[in-house]
Amino acid sequence: MAGNNIQIDEKKLEYIRIISQMSAENASIVISKWLKKDITLNVLNVNLTTIEEISAGMKLDDEIVFAAATGLNGDIRGHFLFIFKLEDAFKMVDMVLKRPLGTTCETDEVVSSVVLETCNIVGSSFSNSLVNLLMIKLLPSAPVVCCDMGGAVMANVFSEYAEYGDNLFFIDTEYLQADTKISGYFFILPTPDSLPVMLKSMANGIECDSK
């Protein structure tokens, strides 16, 4: 599968950073309205990497995580994937329910629901930014959520995806509210035939911006 790896130049990577930041700003507005308090979603890092590198670098094997996946159809096919460590998912629930941090300490349907809605908001914002900036058609499906050991989640997702290709965009994010910080991992997993479409659309966007 190493032969499926695609190199990306810095201009295109910067373009996906711009898309990510715009998406984060839009998501911050929606989440803030939802929670009725100021929430800032920051993008810390964006990179095109491989399944092997992510699996080795995230070190989530022994962590319980919440993961939500959204299917993508249209000009770009594949998935959005969100992963939150358990303590971050609990913080998110306390933030949503306006409870003191540390109140939520067990996994239940409320935690799943909050993670699902958060991922739905961020995924929709990212989809809209991709559509508007890359001038493509994109139809995201309703997200699904699960709670399991990080190693099992990563293995299941990436083993299913590995048959399609090695490449994925990794976007490291954090959610800030006052003194509270919630970390999250966001992946774009395009199918091999969709990645060139994304890169070509980015190149066209860079051309238009430079004129």
- How do residues 171-195 score in pLDDT, each as one tens digit? 888 888 877 888 888 888 887 777 7
The pair of structure tokens assigned to 93 is: 């629930």
pLDDT at 31: 85
* Alpha carbons 140 and 195: distance in angstroms, whole number: 16
Predicted structure pTM score: 0.82
Helix (H) or strand (E) holding 22: helix 10-35
Summarize the chain as % helix, strand, coil (round to 5): 50, 30, 20
The string of pLDDT tens digits covering residues 43-89 is: 888 887 877 777 677 777 888 999 998 989 998 888 888 899 999 99
pLDDT at 2: 38
- Cβ contact 195:6 at 8 Å: yes
Q: Say yes or no to pLDDT of 1 above 50.
A: no
